[in-house]
């Protein structure tokens, strides 16, 4: 019974942390973007204010059942995926529901939110939403291929389909997977550019072209909920990458307060640095068209992914 | 200042071919006055024989005192860099003019605008009657008998001005000791 | 938002604080004034430091910025956009043209006085107002929001008939639903 209580407490803690970190990162990115453009920029907590404002709107309009459910769906998907991601390796405060094979499960679950979004956007009947959804799904087809190839390379190399095991391997050997299989790492890194949807891959929500695409009919609470879901998802992707390629964070043998805090610190540093890669890439790039984006992902990233798989098969 | 050789050659070519009046305005600008029935032949002649392949503009002027509309066709020669104005007058009471969008497609747009703004009919003109205005039920607004000030005052809500607002003209003349000229008096507040 | 006792609860203060610092602007570029919006948003004047940022669609927007003269044809679209926005919603009339018609006061095709057709929170005068004036207008709006005085969305719904009759006087061929949410 105590065990269950601890687990629930841990789950809530994980969710709150993911939400806070994701939102703050968004704010930091806005501030940094402003500084790059020689502006003063909004405060770092601006995203929280936006969220609070969206949630305190007086009227909120929905266009039918799926329009109602889409934000909820996104939140559900985000929290579910979060439960399967190890926040700190083997830490008792952040328990997770990992099992053997959860990497494959995660691959499926991560598109679940986008699916809800697609259904909800479809019901609003706004043509911009429909175009946005098609673009989003096409782009997903683009970046999923190098991403999956990179994960397959890791699975073959270490003969496991568990995120926990992959982290544990890095912890034991002391070699990060980014160096153990550099080709797979590069493929996954390039795929992450599309995953975070910064320029040049912001073709889904292009504000000037598509009036923010799939979310164009969602306002108020719906938009706010979607924003929180997106923030959690950003944290999820970053943490997953850190655990897969950068040796994870946390010490499995020590769950004391100090060790946990140190683990969180390391995780934040790693995720933030990783987050800066798509953001930096975005600052210096204008927007691609859909077919350019897909061609990009099916070019070098896919080739690197295939080399990564071959590397995993023949050199280990 | 050039000696306007090209301009005079053009003027002669057009006026002698159609027996009409015309003049050189300045360098690179030539105008001819044509009868309303010959306009399309002049335009075709200019386009096919003289190489005026581009129509810049087409507009209308309301001469209410003379009871006429004046239509101006501005066409352009891209090699010689000459502009030819073909002007014609039509009756204000029965404003009908030949449709020339078979010569230049984009004349269609100008003609629709004139139909809407001046009420000139172009037989055979294809296009919606509502072009820039929506649901317009008055006389065409660019005609000079249309009192736009009165219409605006009746239709829209004018905001009353400030109590202490002063008439700019009067104030300035008072300050500088000059007299407001007669033609400006009708614009004064008093 | 003020309640019926003309006072605000703590929740209102928190909500108003958030609303004040996060204004999503739908810049409806009707007239010449739209050219000042890029200047206001970009690095020289940087409106984003006040939490002002652009919104792409009326559903997401809080502030409708009418930048200049409104022809009767555009008014129809503005009304649709305004009614699609979610409350609390604010309108800023930008430029002399929205105040009293400006230099188009006697035009047959542009309205004089925007507030006869939709409620306006803040007017910024000038032809055209400079970015400093625009920002001061936004600051004024923020003050109104914090004081709970900017509830024109409700006012519009309550006086819908008044506004509708004014609107229908100009838009003779009314084909829209009576309130398009
Ligand atoms: S107020 Fe002046 S600048 Fe603004 S729309 Fe009117 S005429 Fe243009």
Residue B176 is assigned to a structural domain of this protein: yes
Please tell me if the CB atom of residue C102 comes closer than 6 angstroms to any atom of ligand 1: yes
3-state secondary structure labels for all residues of chain C: CCCCCCCCCHHHHHHHHHHHHCEEEEEECCCHHHHHHHHHHCCCCCHHHHCEEECCCCCCCCEEEEECCCEHHHHHHHHHHHHHCCCCCEEEEECHHHHHCHHHCCCCCECCCHHHCCCCCEEECCCCCCHHHHHHHHHHHHHHHHCCCCCHHHHHHHCHHHHHHHHHHHCCCCCCCCCCC
pLDDT digits 0-9 by tens, A104-155:
888 888 888 788 888 888 888 788 888 888 888 888 888 889 999 988 888 8
C-alpha–C-alpha distance, residues B55 and B39, integer Å: 14
Predicted complex ipTM: 0.86
The answer to whether the Cβ–Cβ distance between C18 and A49 falls below 8 Å is yes
The verdict on A212 touching C (C-beta cutoff 8 Å) is yes
Residue B48's SS3 state is: helix
B173 and B138 in a common domain? no
Ligand 1 midpoint to CA C107 (Å)? 13
Please tell me if the CB atom of residue C93 comes closer than 6 angstroms to any atom of ligand 1: no
Per domain, the residue ranges of chain A are: 2-315
Q: Max Cα separation, chain B?
A: 66
Nearest to A37 among C19, C43, C51 (CB): C43
In A150-241, beta strands by DSSP E: none
- Alpha carbon distance, N-terminus to C-terminus of chain B: 50
Q: Residue A299: which residues within 8 A CB-CB, separation 6 or more?
A: none
* DSSP-assigned beta bridge partners for residue B87: B33, B72
Q: Which residues of C63-72 are buried (b: 16+ CB within 10 A; e: fewer)?
A: bbbbbbbbbb
Q: Give yes or no for a contact between A30 and A47, defined as CB atoms under 8 angstroms apart.
A: yes
Nearest chain B alpha carbon to C70 = B156
Ligand 1 midpoint to CA C98 (Å)? 8
Domain carrying residue B33: 5-146
Compute the nearest-CA separation of A298 from chain C (Å): 31
CA-angle at A273, arms to A86 and A207, nearest 5°: 95
B170 and B88 in a common domain? no
Which two tokens mark A233?
Answer: 């998802």
B124 and B170 in a common domain? no
Residue B74 is assigned to a structural domain of this protein: yes
pLDDT digits 0-9 by tens, B140-189:
888 888 888 888 888 888 887 777 777 777 888 888 888 877 777 776 66
Residue B152 is assigned to a structural domain of this protein: no
Report DSSP letters for B142-164, one per residue. TSTTS-HHHHHHHHS-PPP--TT
The burial class, CB within 10 Å (0-12 / 13-18 / 19+), for B126 is exposed
Q: What is the DSSP letter of A289?
A: P
Q: Whose CA is nearest to atom 8 of ligand 1?
A: C32
Number of domains in chain B: 2
Residue B26 is assigned to a structural domain of this protein: yes
Residue B153 is assigned to a structural domain of this protein: no
Residue B18 is assigned to a structural domain of this protein: yes
The verdict on A41 touching C (C-beta cutoff 8 Å) is yes
Ligand 1 midpoint to CA C128 (Å)? 5
Ligand 1 midpoint to CA C143 (Å)? 26
In tens digits, what is the pLDDT along chain B, a chain of 190 residues? 567 888 888 888 888 888 888 888 888 889 999 988 888 899 998 898 888 889 999 999 999 889 899 999 999 999 888 899 999 999 988 888 888 888 888 889 999 999 888 889 888 888 888 888 888 888 888 888 888 888 888 888 888 777 777 777 788 888 888 887 777 777 666 5
Average pLDDT in the C19-23 region?
88
C-alpha–C-alpha distance, residues A150 and A191, integer Å: 9
Nearest to A211 among C1, C49, C57 (CB): C57
CATH number (domain holding residue B93): 3.30.460.80
Q: Would you tell me which CATH number, out of the four given (3.40.640.10, 3.40.50.2000, 3.40.50.12280, 3.20.20.60), belongs to the domain C2-170?
A: 3.40.50.12280
Residues of C with CB under 8 A from a CB of A: 1, 14-15, 17-19, 21-22, 42-43, 46, 48-49, 51, 53-54, 56-57, 59-62, 85-88, 153, 181
């Amino acid at each position: 019974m105590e065990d269950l209580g601890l687990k629930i407490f841990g789950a809530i803690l994980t969710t709150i942390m993911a939400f806070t970190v994701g939102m703050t990162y968004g704010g930091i990115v806005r501030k940094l973007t402003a500084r790059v453009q020689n502006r003063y920029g909004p405060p770092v907590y601006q995203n929280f204010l936006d969220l609070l404002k969206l949630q305190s709107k007086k009227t909120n309009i929905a266009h039918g059942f799926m329009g109602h459910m889409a934000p909820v769906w996104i939140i559900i998907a985000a929290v579910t995926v979060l439960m399967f991601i190890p926040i700190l390796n083997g830490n008792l405060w952040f328990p997770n529901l990992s099992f053997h094979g959860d990497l494959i499960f995660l691959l499926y679950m991560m598109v679940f939110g986008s699916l809800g979004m697609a259904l909800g956007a479809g019901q609003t009947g706004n043509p911009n939403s429909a175009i946005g959804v098609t673009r989003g799904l096409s782009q997903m087809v683009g970046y999923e291929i190098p991403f999956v190839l990179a994960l397959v390379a890791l699975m073959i190399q270490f003969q496991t389909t568990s995120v926990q095991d992959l982290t544990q391997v890095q912890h034991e050997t002391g070699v990060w997977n980014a160096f153990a299989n550099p080709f797979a790492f590069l493929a996954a890194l390039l795929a992450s550019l599309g995953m975070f949807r910064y320029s040049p891959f912001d073709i889904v929500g292009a504000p000037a072209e598509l009036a923010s695409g799939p979310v164009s009919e969602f306002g108020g609470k719906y938009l706010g909920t979607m924003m929180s879901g997106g923030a959690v998802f950003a944290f999820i992707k970053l943490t997953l990458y850190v655990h897969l390629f950068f040796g994870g964070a946390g010490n499995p043998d020590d769950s004391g307060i100090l060790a946990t805090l140190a683990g969180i610190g390391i995780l934040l540093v790693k995720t933030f640095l990783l987050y800066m890669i798509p953001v930096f890439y975005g600052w210096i790039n204008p927007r691609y068209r859909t077919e350019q984006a897909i061609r990009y992902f099916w070019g070098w990233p896919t080739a690197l992914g295939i080399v990564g798989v071959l590397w995993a098969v023949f050199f280990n | 200042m050039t000696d306007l050789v090209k301009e005079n050659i053009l003027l002669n070519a057009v006026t002698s071919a159609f027996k009409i009046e015309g003049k050189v305005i300045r360098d690179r600008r030539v105008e001819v006055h044509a009868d309303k029935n010959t306009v399309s032949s002049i335009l075709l002649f200019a386009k096919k024989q003289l190489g005026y392949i581009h129509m810049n503009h087409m507009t209308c002027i309301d001469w209410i005192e003379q009871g006429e509309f004046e239509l101006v066709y501005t066409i352009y020669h891209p090699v010689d860099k000459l502009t030819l104005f073909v002007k014609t007058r039509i009756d204000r009471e029965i404003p009908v003019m030949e449709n020339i969008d078979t010569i230049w497609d984009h004349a269609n747009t100008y003609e629709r605008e004139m139909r809407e703004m001046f009420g000139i009919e172009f037989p055979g003109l294809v296009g919606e009657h509502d072009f820039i205005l929506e649901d317009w039920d008055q006389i065409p607004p660019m005609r000079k008998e249309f009192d736009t000030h009165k219409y605006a005052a009746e239709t829209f809500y004018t905001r009353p001005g400030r109590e202490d607002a002063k008439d700019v003209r009067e104030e300035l003349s008072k300050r500088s000791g000059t007299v407001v000229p007669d033609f400006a008096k009708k614009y004064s507040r008093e | 938002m003020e309640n019926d006792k003309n006072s605000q609860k703590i929740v209102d203060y928190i909500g108003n604080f958030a609303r004040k610092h996060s204004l999503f602007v739908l810049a409806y570029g009707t007239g010449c004034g739209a050219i000042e919006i890029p200047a206001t948003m970009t690095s020289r004047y940087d409106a984003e430091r006040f939490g002002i940022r652009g919104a792409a669609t009326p559903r997401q927007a809080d502030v409708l910025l009418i930048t200049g003269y409104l022809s009767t044809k555009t008014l129809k679209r503005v009304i649709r956009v305004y009614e699609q926005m979610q409350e609390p919603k604010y309108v800023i009339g930008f430029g002399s043209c929205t105040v009293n018609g400006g230099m188009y006061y006697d035009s047959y095709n542009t309205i004089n006085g925007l507030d006869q057709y939709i409620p306006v929170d803040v007017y910024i005068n000038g032809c055209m107002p400079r970015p400093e004036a625009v920002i001061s207008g936004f600051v004024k709006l923020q003050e109104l929001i914090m004081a709970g005085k900017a509830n024109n969305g409700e006012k519009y719904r309550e006086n819908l008939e008044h506004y509708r009759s004014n609107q229908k006087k100009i838009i003779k061929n009314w084909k829209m639903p009576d309130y398009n949410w």
